[in-house]
Amino acid sequence: MSVTITVPATSANVGIGYDCLGMAVSLYATFTFDHADELTITGCPEEFANEQNLVYRSFELALEHWGEKPFPISIDIDSPIPLARGLGSSSACTVAGIMGAASLTGRIIRREEAVAIATEMEGHPDNVAPAIMGSLVCSFSPEGGLPHCIRYDVHKKLHFVTIVPPYEVHTSDARKVVPTEVPLSTAIWQMGRISGLTRGLETGDAKLISAACEDRLQEPYRRKLIPDYDDVFETCKRGGAVAMWISGSGSTLMACVDDGLVAESLRARIKQLHPTFDVMVLDCDTRGVRIEM
């Protein structure tokens, strides 16, 4: 019996929440698993159709956690999540592999366990936690301990215009430009605003979101890696967006809008100005990963 795992895309950092905030959005990758005579992977470039595929590596890691031996499977991948654009494509693969392993072995897995295994694979929980739990999640990992995840609801009136330029920003490059030390004043600036932003997203308070979503920790440095940042920011500001941030490491930019018609109008305007961009209006996904037999 085959099993299909559906995983939402995610936006990490959410502006002010560097390496701790992440939000699941309504763009979905599907992964179909089944027992097989040998490992077969379809739906991805040929160079990734082997044991080094991230989905299969996560599948193996989960089995190792449970003391199970690997076995041959077929994996079919259908993912519209763009690669290396800051929308959690690798996290979707990681989560799918873990949940595929649980499903094919009949194991009951809690979300907390899935986040812990996925964090081991990814190195941090900011994308995998919302992919598993849905909605907006603040995550942190204590020294030597399992990740702590705090889930927040996002108000239904909020929509997210997602702007994907036709070029990549690799995570390694994005991390290099962020300072490793910051002044105390910057730390204080971030702490107050991350609390304000999470509350604003919960309540749909546009003024609070706008006031809080002004990052000084990483976005002033990372924006230089995205040539179209300033132009898109001005378009979003004039077009009624409440706030705009770099999604993950970029190059995707995400604008928060508190009116559905305004969101569609802004999407059309950006597409008109940047016809090579992929522009979508997404909502916050509230379910996270799901399993279909």
Which residues make up each annotated binding site for ATP?
Answer: 82-92
Report the amino acid identity of residue 128. Answer: V
Nearest residue to 135 (alpha-carbon basis) of 119, 113, 163, 158 = 158
Q: Is the peptide bond before 89 cis (omega within 30 degrees of 0)?
A: no
Tokens linked to 280: 């979508």
Report the amino acid identity of residue 151. Answer: R
The binding site comprises 82-92
Q: Are 97 and 55 in contact (CB under 8 A)?
A: yes
* Torsions phi, psi for 28 (to 5 deg): -125, 140
**Cα distance between residue 113 and residue 129, in whole Å:** 11
